[in-house]
Amino acid sequence: MPLECRMRMQSLIRTAVCIAMRNIRSPSATQTAVIGRTLDNGDEEILAFVQCVDPAALDPAVLADFVSDRLASYKRPSRIIMTTELPAAATGKVLKHQLLSTFARQLAQLDSKV
């Protein structure tokens, strides 16, 4: 029972973050995706990916401030990754299961800075 409850809570948290990320009002941001990544200690961090026409036009720190005004601290993404293209199916749906492998190098660089 606790496992089911935890998984449901994780799903609810990701949904809340996804909704907040969709509210980004910028012509540069075209699509967002939110996933969880399991850490070495067993915890999970929330990662948000933002597809932009020009990633330099949006500052991840500004987006983090935007989200922090709308979400409780435990629902905020720990990382916001800006990109020009998210892995997507022919229908345009983001392939969330490919996000970690697609952005592994970028995530490793961010992890080494911490």
pLDDT given for residue 35 in this prediction: 87
Higher-scoring residue by pLDDT: 55, 102:
102
CATH superfamily of 2-85: ANL, C-terminal domain (3.30.300.30)
Higher-scoring residue by pLDDT: 108, 20:
108
Greatest extent of the chain over all pairs of C-alpha atoms, in Å: 45
This prediction has a pTM of 0.78
Please identify which residue in the block is written with the tokens 């933002």: 50
Is pLDDT above 50 for 96? yes
- Cα–Cα nearest to 18, from 10, 26, 7: 10
Task: Write the single-letter amino acid at 8.
Answer: R
- What DSSP designation does 76 have? S
Is pLDDT above 70 for 27? no
Per-residue pLDDT tens over the stretch 65-80: 888 887 778 778 888 8
Per-residue pLDDT tens over the stretch 42-58: 788 889 898 888 888 88
**Structural contact between residues 58 and 66, judged by C-beta atoms closer than 8 angstroms:** no
Is pLDDT above 90 for 3? no
Is pLDDT above 70 for 11? no
- What DSSP designation does 94 have? B
Break the chain into its structural domains and give their ranges. 2-85
